[in-house]
Structure 1
Amino acid sequence: MKMLFAFAVITVALTVVYGAPADPWNEYKNKHGKKYGSTADEAQRKKNFLAKDAMIAKHNSQKNVTYQLGHNQFSDMTTTELSQYLGAIKPANVTRSLEVMAPLAIMETRQLPTSLDYRTHACLAAVKNQGQCGNGWAYSAIGSLEFAWCKKYGTPVVLSEQQLVDFDTYDYGCNGGWYINAWNYLKNVAGGSIQQSLYSYTAKKNTLKFASSKTRANVGSYGNLPKLNAPNMQAALKTYGPISVAIAVTDSFANYASGVYTDTACGNVVDHAVVVVGYGKLNVIDYWIVRNSWGTGWGQSGYGFIQRGVNLCHIEEHAAFVTAA
């Protein structure tokens, strides 16, 4: 009995000094500010989280993995809910409304730098967060255009994705779209893109109006890059700056934390759009640097490395460039 009592005293003392054993679920809720409408809802969210926690632990414990997974805002969500954070729909005819597309000149790829990284470039706007609105297409289109405008005129600019969500009739707002269609709309219909400060983001389709006279940046030329040609994409990055691409997202991508993403379990259909802002090599693996639109809590402060040269998740099939007028 004396030994049991002494053990209990020691346990209580350790709890006082070091705190109660960590509860991953409560830590996750507190870190991400998660609140739920009912006990049943929280129970389901906890179940989702624990399944994701097991997946993350299993992956990270394997030897020779090239990337690490981690918890973020998606860890308690279902696959269906995750799909609301995507938003790329490839048109049945990818050349639709591309009468203004400029032909891409044959580029010199032999003199490419071994690495290129625009993440700290003055013309690249801060990472944004599309929220629960499937308009990754708009963020990809605007991200590339912001850089192109700054590159031409020397002034950083932050443009409005909301304008595209509300008014681009070639696309479907929060239900998906395509970055080339967005450039076509901005060039031929809207007369340019308005500044974000004048038309802020709401993560839903609105019925508001804006003054077209306030548009700031217009599109010059734009077009598809040759498919499955990584060196040409590298050359385009050097010549134009960041380029838009479409990818097929899988569950592991949602919880990507660091390293070079190499998961081949992607679907056959692209469903999200991001911006490629550079390339490099880690150990022996070539990679693209992608800028996502899920906030800085995803990946490496909003960026990720995706294996280059193998068309992982279809990243080298639908690359496109844009210039400013």
Structure 2
Amino acid sequence: MKLVFILLPIVALASTAAHTIGASDPDIDEFGIEFGDIVIDADEKAKRAKALMENEDAIRKHNDEFRHGKSGFYMKLNELSDLPADEEEKQKFGLIHVEEPTDEYSRGAYPMHEDTYDRASQTLLAELRQNVQVPSSFFVSENHRTAVKNQAQCGSCAAFATVAAVETCLLKNGANLQGLDLSEQSLLDCAYNPAKYANGCNGATISAYSIFLASNLNGKLPHETVDPYLNTNPRLQCPNKPSFNVGAKVTSKIVNHNCDESTMEMLVVQYGQVITSLFAGNSSEAAIRTSFSNYAGGIYDGCPASHSARNNVNHAVTVVGFGEDNGQKYWLMRNSWGPHWGMQGYMKIKRGVNMCAIGRECTVPICGSDSAPLSSLPPPPPASPTCDVSARYVITGNYNWMFRNVTSQVRCTAGICQLRTGTMMGNSLCKQLCGSTTSECFAA
């Protein structure tokens, strides 16, 4: 029997998903279609169905506590809710732990190493402390923020956090918001150097990419259209694509491996976005991992005080502001898990107590003017070959399609699908999606 679905706007889906997926017997096919994450492999589907049931149970229990005033944040299903713990850690994080690796899979970000001490940064920080007045609340203008992106299955959070900060840096220095979308892939590939803690899909420190961009590629990156994201298939060598000239570029950076929340407030006020790290749970801290991954709103305070040390961190994010709700101080943090997650891709996280170790390390790219002629927006890429999946899925929308442990990002209309990002493996999209050598999947 065919499954017929139309993928509704992301925000609407995210807000209603907990009601449309059965609490006692979740249908993994229905969940996958609703959240754009189709899995063909039977064994993988069974693992995900189990994870989904566990997350639904945890969400139900936690939200009951929220309704009774025992928690300051609430949870909901999102596209991460069917990921087993090991897959989530490998795919959705990306901060490398330099000193004492304890997990089989890092969430993708390393704590910054002592070798990153930067005297120029300390001098600049000392000047800023004398000159920057920090208000009680501050949020960078939405005109200085680009759209939330999704790192998909690659542990590339540090690259995505860096590009988000760079885009704000450029906008605050005169770039045009219209069409600004820089290539994370070029940064991942060109900066790749495990000896300097930039290790592709296996993570990086929060400072690795800002340090690289401040002294390489003339401080500029290509447009996303010119060098699209390849997810789990990076080149790990520089493609030398033309840069997207916007009238500004990265000229230097601030790297502070011994940061604090007061310093981060000052940096947010001055620069708009700050790259920082935090602990987002792991397989041995299931309660934190579950609450962080399924966060939906309120002020997050799911990490106990024992997780405030910088050597706990495993995820890179960007902080875009800070404020206060009902006497509770919070950071406004931008993630790289797409707009399904959290508050359209953002989280409010408790401020002033190093919640989840946030603010223990900070990095900021700094921009200046660029005299190169402005680039025109590149044309859209040519359409990719199509594959007809309508014999099983009559679907319309954007999906992550997993077959034989290969995830392809596709765009479908009435069951006719084509790649929306990345490159085709081999000469047949249907072969990639379902093993078919014809132009159809699941044909009778």
Shorter-chain TM range is 0.7 to 0.9
Q: Please report how far the alpha carbon of residue 39 of structure 1 lies from its aligned counterpart in structure 2 after TM superposition.
A: 3.9
Residues 159-207 of structure 1 show CA distances to partners (whole Å, capped at 9, x for unaligned) of 2110121121230011001232211211223222322232111113126
Residues 1-325 of structure 1 mapped to structure 2, 5 A cutoff: 23-24=22-23, 25-26=26-27, 27-62=30-65, 63-64=68-69, 65-83=71-89, 84-89=91-96, 90=110, 93-96=113-116, 98=118, 101=121, 103-104=124-125, 105-107=127-129, 111-118=133-140, 121-156=142-177, 157-168=180-191, 169=193, 170=196, 171-194=198-221, 195-203=223-231, 204-206=233-235, 209-211=238-240, 214=243, 216=245, 218-225=249-256, 227=258, 229-250=260-281, 251=289, 252-265=291-304, 266=307, 269-325=312-368
* CA RMSD across the alignment: 2.5
Task: State the one-letter code of the partner of 2:302.
Answer: D
Structure-2-length-normalised TM-score:
0.63
Q: Separation in 1 of the partners of 2:271 and 2:335?
A: 19
Distance 1:223 1:295 in 2: 27
**For 1:253 and 1:279, how far apart are their aligned partners in 2?**
19
Matches of 1:196 and 1:123, distance apart in 2: 18
Q: Is the 8 A contact 1:190 1:212 kept in 2?
A: no
The structure that is strand-richer by fraction is 2
- Give the Cα separation in 2 of the matches to 1:234 and 1:207: 35
Question: Which secondary structure state, in structure 2, belongs to the residue aligned with residue 198 of structure 1?
Answer: coil
* 1:95 to partner: Cα distance: 3.4
SS at match of 1:218: strand
Name 1:4's counterpart in structure 2: none
Counterpart in the other structure of 2:372 = none
TM-superposed CA distance for 1:91, in Å, is 5.7
Are the structure 2 counterparts of residues 218 and 179 from structure 1 closer, same or farther at C-alpha, using a change threshold of 3 Å? farther
Query: Equivalents in 2 of 1:236, 1:186: separation in Å?
Result: 19
What SS class does the counterpart of residue 214 from structure 1 fall into? coil
Q: 1:73 to 1:257 in 2, by over 3 A?
A: same
Amino acid at match of 1:210: P
What percentage of aligned pairs have identical amino acids?
A: 28
- Partner-residue secondary structure (3-state), 1:324: strand
State how far apart, in whole Å, the 2-side matches of 1:33 and 1:226 are: 38
Give the counterpart letter for 2:39 in structure 1.
Y
Q: Secondary structure at the match of 1:313?
A: helix
The Cα offsets for residues 201-243 of structure 1, whole Å up to 9 and x where unpaired, read as 1113126653365353532221234846323221211111111
SS in 2 for 1:153: coil
| Structure 2 residues without counterparts, runs of 5 or longer | 1-19, 97-109, 282-288, 369-444
Q: Distance in 2 between matches of 1:248 and 1:237?
A: 20
**Residues 105-133 of structure 1: per-residue CA shift (max 9 Å, x gap):** 24259943222222x52121100011000
Deviations 1:45-82 (A, max 9, x none): 21111111111111110122100011111111111111
**Aligned partner of residue 332 in structure 2, secondary structure:** strand
Q: Is the 8 A contact 1:148 1:241 kept in 2?
A: yes
Taking the aligned partners of 1:112 and 1:36, their CA distance within structure 2 comes to: 48
Contact 2:111 2:314 in 1 (8 A): no
Asked whether the equivalents of residues 329 and 352 of structure 2 are also in contact (C-alpha less than 8 Å), the reply is yes
What count of residue pairs does the alignment treat as equivalent? Answer: 304
Which structure has the larger Rg over C-alpha atoms?
1
Question: Retained in 2: the 8 A contact 1:109–1:235?
Answer: no
Q: Please report the TM-score for the alignment, with normalisation by the length of structure 1.
A: 0.85
Preserved CA contact (<8 Å) 2:132 2:266: no
For 1:274 and 1:129, the matched residues in 2 are separated by: 12
State the distance in 2 between where 1:273 and 1:304 align: 13
Distance 1:154 1:73 in 2: 33
Distance in 1 of aligned mates of 2:133 and 2:249: 31
Separation in structure 2 between the aligned mates of residue 305 and residue 42 of structure 1, nearest angstrom = 32
User: Structure 1 pair 191/110, CA: closer, same or farther in 2 (3 Å)?
Assistant: closer
Tell me what 1:15 maps to. none
